[in-house]
Amino acid sequence: MLNYAWLVLIFPLVGVIINTFFGRYLGKRGAGILASAMVGLSFVGAVWMFAELLGLEDRVVTRPLFDWISVGDFNVQVKLLIDPLSSVMAVVVSGVSFLIHIYSIGYMAHDERFVRFFAYLNLFVFAMLTLVLAENLLVTYVGWEGVGLCSYLLIGFWFERKAAADAGKKAFLVNRVGDVGFALGLMMLFVTFGTLSMSQVLEQAMVVRLMPGVATAIALLLFVGAVGKSAQIPLYVWLPDAMEGPTPVSALIHAATMVTAGVYMVARTHMLFALSPTALTWVAAIGGLTAFFAATIALTQHDLKRVLAYSTISQLGYMFLGVGVGAYAAGIFHLTTHAFFKALLFLGAGSVMHALAGELDIRKMGGLRNKIPVTFWTFLFAALAIAGFPGLAGFFSKDEILWQTFANGKTLLWALALLTAGLTAFYIFRLVFTVFYGESRVDKKVAAHIHESPKVMTAPMAILAFFSVIGGYIGVPKILGGSNWIEHYLDGSLGWHAPEAAIAETAHASAGTEWALLILSVIVALAGIGLAYVFYVRRTDLPTRVAKSLGGLYTLVYNKYKVDELYMAVIVKPLRAVGKFFAESVDGPVVDGIAEGIAALVALIGRGLQALQTGLARNYALGILVGAVLLLAYALVR
Amino acid sequence: MSLSSLHYFILSAILFTIGGIGVLVRRNVFVIFMCVEMMLNAVNLSLIAFARYLNKADGQLLVLFVMAIAAAEVVVGLAILVALHRKRPTTDADEMNVLRG
Amino acid sequence: MAIDLQVLAPEAIILAFVLITLFIYALGSKRSTTLMGWLALAGVVLAGAASLYYWGDTAPTFQGMVAADGYGLFANLVFLLAAGLAILMGLEAVRRFDLPAEVFVLVLIATLGMMLLGSAVNLVAVFLALEILSIALYVLTASERDEWRSLEAGMKYFILGGFASAFLLFGIAMIYGATGTFSLAEIGAKGGSLWALRDAPLLAAGLVFLLIGFAFKVALVPFQMWTPDVYEGAPSLVTAFMSAGAKAAGFVALIRILETAFPYWRAEWGWVLAVIAVLTMSWGNMAALGQRSVKRMLAYSSIAHAGYIVIGLAVAARTGYASVLFYLICYTLMNVGAFAVVMAMGRKGEPNEDLDDYTGLIRRKPGLALAMALFMLALAGIPLTAGFLAKLYVFSAAVVEGYAWLAAVAIVNAVISAYYYLRVAARMFFGEARAEAAPVHVSAPLGFVVALTSLATVFLGVYPAPLLEFIQAAIRPLVGF
């Protein structure tokens, strides 16, 4: 299979092509099944690759596909890089995407542009897999931009709605800011190492002594790209708005195909980050802060999907915290488990919307536990997993990050992350309790039609619930009797550390401390859940009173710290003003003047030439004769 | 004075130029055809002269080809002219200027 | 001396199919037209297969007239591609524009001429091949017999073509007089002792006249004046065929002649061609700006593209020639595609070539509009299309060989050209179609041409590597290193 690794990429692309050109002949069912099957095949291939890789001694395999660009010294060979990191990622991406595809068959059943939707989804998966499997960073970049394009298309899928079209544009523009950083980082990388091939960069990073600051600059520029794509402070603002897209798209973006790209890219280029402790500290700090910051916003929102969106931002913060303290494997581990439960949470949210005719405000829900039981139970498992309930997926991965942060000596960030864990448990169970417990606050009209979603939607949810429960057992830490298998496996890709990397300190912390921290985080998680129970089931008057007593602070958080407004005031408006100034006083008279002058001159010459084109053959013959005389003169005089 | 190939070549060049000027100044399509023929035949003259001078046959061979091709060309030209004449009875090349600009 | 007929197998196949189609035409009922078209297409496909089969046989044959080397065989594929697409368009054109069935025969004859021209290693063969090609094209241009514009175009092409042929022939005669041979290789050997144009005025003048003949054929300034009129007046399928195939044939033969017979004057003809390149692309682009007829705009654009291609010749090096061959294929695809769309828009007596006819096409015929937009982007040289890489390779060859200024001029030109290409795309996407706009019908063969060319345009823009390797192998016998 490793020799046929390209098949993993090709399947979704085939789906795109078939659905684009022949989709309308397939009918809705056909198109949906085809698209799902293509991603399913891709998943099978990815699993196969993964299994085959397990049997190998040297688990870094490259497979050249073709020479893409070769101009002078600049050669780009399109190669696939299959190693522990990319194989895990490929399995997660294709697997979760596959389930979301199936779910979409039910969810989008009544949409007019059904076929187009599936073509976009396939393209999205194709772009993401390209990004994941690429050996050359330029190819990664192609996938990176492809992912950006697809997110734009899908978030704005219902472009008739202004909010959706705006959200699509916002996602595209904010990502662009990050992409500029990424592109600059790649250019600098090429200038420094003379190559964009991952393995060659790795080789050289081991031997080349870089100018101080160069590694930091490259790493930070790449990180800017990751910040944009993975929605971290300060570029996270697009993700909450991305809710305007169809819910399966949210699930896809949040779990499998888009926001994880930033984390993956940092892990992929970890050799550059490892060279620069400064850059790593930045990554950890941004990650930790984002985790906390987004979690507080999630506490206050009333829009079901918006809470989940901020939750994603927060969880991505955890992942960056993990990679930022040099625990790349822990970051990827959390990425994997998060993919399961976050996809499930979104699919659950979609199922709730499906039942309530599109309602998203949790104040208009409640008591749905018995009416849509499958959705409830699966949602509950996902919530437990993200809250860090002992034994579930999120517990192991989140705890690994917390522990590594502590062991790395970043105590402050650890405390922040621990607090965030409590907040996470609280806000997610706030959702569970307000949506599924208590009195029904559903509109009378809507209430009559509450129904469980069809099997095609609930089956993927059940599968994801299963993985949300057991997904963590690939990384059970040593003190709990496990072997932390995933970390050892990923060592094949991520095992390279610069000599001065701080990760070595891990050994100093004792098993006793680890136990203590573990118990502490369990207590925090349970406390969060318990508090949510008190607030939203027992004493439902409490939330309002707390909100009142907090007064201005609550309003500030509720309004998402007014960051959108801040950006509007500080960045967008001044830029507009500057733009206006240039447009009116510089661009108009000066630049336009010159440009128009040149354009007019060119057009004038053009008209002159047209006038020569008299339509008379003898004039044309004259042209030939004149040319002949001139050429002859040159030849004979020279 | 004996004639060298240079004399023939100069004559040929003069004939060629006359033909070329003819294409530029004449308006009757038939005359233009003849002028083109004249250019070709001017070349034929120098080809023959060169072949004689070089004592090789291939130059003369090309002349035969040229004559055949010239005949074919005129046939095509006349056919197009006939078709044109059906649409608009004229042989004035200057009236064929719908396409311009 | 044995004549190795095999070497000319592709040409022989085409000739056979010329005779077969003519025979059917002679028996001819009205229904046989379609049959002739498919037969012609079969001939083209067979000849293409034969070209691939005899790939790499380099022995010159027929008394040293033609060489079926890799270069010539590769050139065959370009011509056959253009011919195949033109015949497919012809299948629709004979019905829609009432063209006579002879177009299929004539396309085959012209293709035969192109193939011989691409393989010719002797000036006699060059002249004959060029005339076979040209005469067939005169007739093809005038083949829409009840349309004045077609006839007028044919007449102009005929007069000026004959005029230019005379120059070419005179050039051949002078070269013959100076070197005593028609063989390109022998001319190259004789001229090897020269070191300046002055030393051999007759040979130099001969080269100039020869260049004029080819510059006319491939439409280089100032020998390009016929192009807009002829391209506009000729039926679209003929224009597509001419602008792609005949232009390719001219360039292919010119490269071989210059490289085999006149390598010692590389600096001189290189410089002349560089100047001509600048004039040609600038002229084509600037005159295209003011055009309202899409077809005429494409005619001027083809002049501009000839200018870009000449850059590859002017640098007089292996990379340059390779880039020319690549450009020719890309140009064939995107240009034939564009003309296929132009043809799809037209109806008998209503060419519908004006920009206004394209307004709002996206709503009337979305597929066609998208394809046209793709061809426009490709012709403008936007990345991820074949047109971009074609330009990139030519321009980078120029930079590598020390003609950076030429590349700079070309890039400025490409920017100018984007204006008129993208205008078409913008018109199609934004703007309301006129109420009385005629319905656009795309038949299967025409749709196939558009689909094939657009897919290939994207494919070559994304993944050109195999073709480039093929081309590298093809020019090896020519440049020899």
Cα separation, A463 vs A470, in Å, equals 11
Counting one residue from B and one from C, how many pairs have CB atoms under 8 Å apart? 125
Nearby residues of A25 by Cβ (< 8 Å), 6 or more positions away? none
Exposure class string for A296-313: b at 16+ Cβ within 10 A, else e: bbbbbbebbbbbbbbbbb
Report the chain C residue with the minimal C-alpha distance to residue A609. C287
Quote the minimal CA–CA distance from B4 to chain C in Å.
Answer: 12
**Residue that is written with structure tokens 């005029």 in the block:** C163
What's the first-to-final CA gap in chain A, in angstroms? 66
Q: What is the mean pLDDT of residues A470-485?
A: 77
Two structure tokens written together for A321: 């915290």
| Closest CB to A621 among B24, B98, B101 | B24
Instruction: Name the packing angle between helices C32-53 and C9-27 (round to 10°).
Output: 170
| Chain A touching partners, 3 or more CB pairs below 8 A | B, C
Top pLDDT among A227 and C85 is at: C85
Two structure tokens written together for A478: 């040593």
Domain of residue C340 covers 275-481
pLDDT above 70 for A583: no
H helix intervals, A471-592 = 485-494, 511-533, 542-550, 552-558, 563-567, 573-581
Nearby residues of A335 by Cβ (< 8 Å), 6 or more positions away? A89, A92, A260, A263, A264, A319
CB C244 within 8 A of CB C332: yes
The total of other beta-carbon atoms located within 10 Å of residue C30's CB is 7
Helix (H) or strand (E) holding A79: strand A74-82
Q: What percent of chain B has pLDDT over 70?
A: 97
Query: Is B41 part of any domain?
Result: yes
Query: Is C207 part of any domain?
Result: no
Cα separation, A448 vs A463, in Å, equals 29
**A211 lies within 8 A of chain C by CB:** no
Do the chains contact at C170 and B42, CB–CB below 8 Å?
Answer: yes
3-state secondary structure C387-407: HHHHHHHHHHHHHHCCCHHHH
Query: Is C120 part of any domain?
Result: no
H helix intervals, C346-443 = 355-358, 361-364, 366-380, 386-400, 404-429
Residues in C closer than 8 angstroms to B36, CB to CB, are 159, 162-163, 166
Query: Is C352 part of any domain?
Result: yes
H helix intervals, A62-136 = 84-107, 114-133
- How many domains does one find in chain B? 1
Query: Is B47 part of any domain?
Result: yes
pLDDT above 70 for C480: no
pLDDT above 60 for A623: yes
- How many domains does one find in chain C? 1
What are A409-437's pLDDT values in tens digits? 888 888 888 888 888 888 888 888 888 88
Query: Is B34 part of any domain?
Result: yes
pLDDT above 80 for A482: no
Residues of C in CB contact (< 8 Å) with A are 155-156, 159-160, 163-164, 167, 196-198, 201, 204-205, 207-209, 211-212, 215-216, 221-226, 228-229, 268, 272, 283, 286-290, 392-393, 396, 400, 416, 463, 465-466, 468
Q: What is the DSSP code (8-state) at residue A506? A: G
Top pLDDT among A561 and B51 is at: B51
What is the pLDDT at residue C140? 95
CB C458 within 8 A of CB C330: no
Average pLDDT value over all residues in chain A: 81
What is the pLDDT at residue A501? 43
Burial class (CB in 10 A: 0-12, 13-18, 19+), A263: buried
Quote the minimal CA–CA distance from B15 to chain A in Å.
Answer: 15
pLDDT above 60 for A586: yes
Q: Which candidate, C336, C353, C300, C450, places its Cα nearest to that of C149?
A: C353
pLDDT above 70 for B40: yes
Do the chains contact at A620 and C155, CB–CB below 8 Å?
Answer: no
Two structure tokens written together for B91: 């042989």
What is the pLDDT at residue C163? 95
Cα separation, C479 vs C477, in Å, equals 6
Q: How confident is the model at residue A372 (pLDDT cuts 50, 70, 90)?
A: confident
Q: How many residues are present in chain A? A: 638
Mean pLDDT check: name the lowest of A469-473, C108-112, C244-248. A469-473
The 3-state DSSP class for residue B12 equals helix
Query: Is C315 part of any domain?
Result: yes
Do the strands C60-61 and A74-82 form a parallel or antiparallel pair, or are they unpaired? unpaired
Point out which residues pair with C66 in neighbouring strands. Answer: C61, C120
pLDDT above 50 for C330: yes
What is the pLDDT at residue A502? 44
Do the chains contact at A613 and B101, CB–CB below 8 Å?
Answer: yes
Do the chains contact at C166 and B40, CB–CB below 8 Å?
Answer: yes
What is the pLDDT at residue C464? 86
Peptide bond into A64 cis (omega under 30): no
Q: What percent of chain A has pLDDT over 70?
A: 91
What's the first-to-final CA gap in chain B, in angstroms? 54
Q: How confident is the model at residue C108 (pLDDT cuts 50, 70, 90)?
A: very high
Cα separation, A412 vs A406, in Å, equals 9
Q: How confident is the model at residue C127 (pLDDT cuts 50, 70, 90)?
A: very high
pLDDT above 90 for C14: yes
CATH number for the domain that contains residue B44: 1.10.287.3510
Name residues 72-101 of chain B within 8 A of C (Cβ): 72-73, 76-77, 79-81, 83-84, 87-88, 93, 96-101
Peptide bond into C222 cis (omega under 30): yes
What are A96-133's pLDDT values in tens digits? 889 888 888 888 887 778 888 888 888 889 999 988 88
Do the chains contact at C155 and B93, CB–CB below 8 Å?
Answer: yes
Q: What is the mean pLDDT of residues A71-95?
A: 81
pLDDT above 50 for C249: yes
Cα separation, A584 vs C189, in Å, equals 67
Top pLDDT among A294 and C114 is at: C114
CB C172 within 8 A of CB B59: no
**Residue that is written with structure tokens 């699993």 in the block:** A47
pLDDT above 60 for C372: yes
pLDDT above 80 for C192: no
Angle at C471 between CA C318 and CA C333, to 5 degrees: 115
Nearby residues of C341 by Cβ (< 8 Å), 6 or more positions away? C368, C371, C372, C375, C450
Task: Give this complex's ipTM.
Answer: 0.96
Query: Is B99 part of any domain?
Result: no
Do the chains contact at A609 and C167, CB–CB below 8 Å?
Answer: no
Most confident of A20-34, C89-103, C419-433: C89-103
Alpha-carbon distance values, A421 to A303, A418, A468, A518 (Å): 21, 5, 17, 12
Q: What is the mean pLDDT of residues C139-146?
A: 92
What is the pLDDT at residue A29? 79
Alpha-carbon A480 to chain mean position: 32
pLDDT above 50 for A11: yes
Q: Which candidate, C182, C144, C171, places its Cα nearest to that of C60?
A: C182
Alpha-carbon distance values, B85 to A319, C145, C161, C434 (Å): 83, 11, 20, 36
Counting one residue from A and one from C, how many pairs have CB atoms under 8 Å apart? 98
User: Quick one: CA torsion of A488, A494, A496, A497, rounded to 10 degrees?
Assistant: -100
pLDDT above 80 for A69: no
What is the pLDDT at residue C85? 96
What is the pLDDT at residue C1? 46
**B38 lies within 8 A of chain A by CB:** no
Cα separation, C111 vs C474, in Å, equals 20
The two most distant CA atoms of chain A are separated, in Å, by: 105
Alpha-carbon distance values, C356 to A81, A103, C29, C431 (Å): 51, 46, 39, 10
DSSP readout, A193-232?
HS--BHHHHHHHHHH--PPTTHHHHHHHHHHHHHHHHTT-
Report the chain B residue with the minimal C-alpha distance to residue A614. B100
What is the pLDDT at residue A533? 81
Q: How confident is the model at residue B22 (pLDDT cuts 50, 70, 90)?
A: very high
- The whole-model pTM stands at 0.70
Q: What is the mean pLDDT of residues A548-572?
A: 71
Query: Is B43 part of any domain?
Result: yes
Query: Is C281 part of any domain?
Result: yes
Query: Is B39 part of any domain?
Result: yes
What is the pLDDT at residue A588? 61
Two structure tokens written together for A122: 């396939």
Domain of residue B23 covers 5-90
Helix (H) or strand (E) holding C171: helix C148-179
Q: What is the mean pLDDT of residues A438-466?
A: 81
Query: Is B100 part of any domain?
Result: no
Amino acid at C153: A
| Closest CB to B24 among A610, A614, A622 | A622
Q: How confident is the model at residue A503 (pLDDT cuts 50, 70, 90)?
A: very low
Two structure tokens written together for A281: 């500290």
Query: Is B28 part of any domain?
Result: yes
Angle at C462 between CA C459 and CA C465, to 5 degrees: 90
| Chain C touching partners, 3 or more CB pairs below 8 A | A, B
What are A541-554's pLDDT values in tens digits? 777 777 777 777 77
User: Quick one: CA torsion of A354, A355, A361, A367, rounded to 10 degrees?
Assistant: -150
Do the chains contact at B98 and C148, CB–CB below 8 Å?
Answer: yes
**Residue that is written with structure tokens 């118990």 in the block:** A519
Nearby residues of B56 by Cβ (< 8 Å), 6 or more positions away? C180
The total of other beta-carbon atoms located within 10 Å of residue A97's CB is 30
Cα separation, C79 vs C132, in Å, equals 14
| Mutation for testing the B interface, residue in C99, C165, C212, C297 having most B CBs under 10 Å | C165
Q: What percent of chain A has pLDDT over 90?
A: 3
Cα separation, A627 vs C149, in Å, equals 27
What is the pLDDT at residue C57? 59
Quote the minimal CA–CA distance from A619 to chain B in Å.
Answer: 7
Q: What percent of chain C has pLDDT over 70?
A: 96
pLDDT above 80 for A221: yes
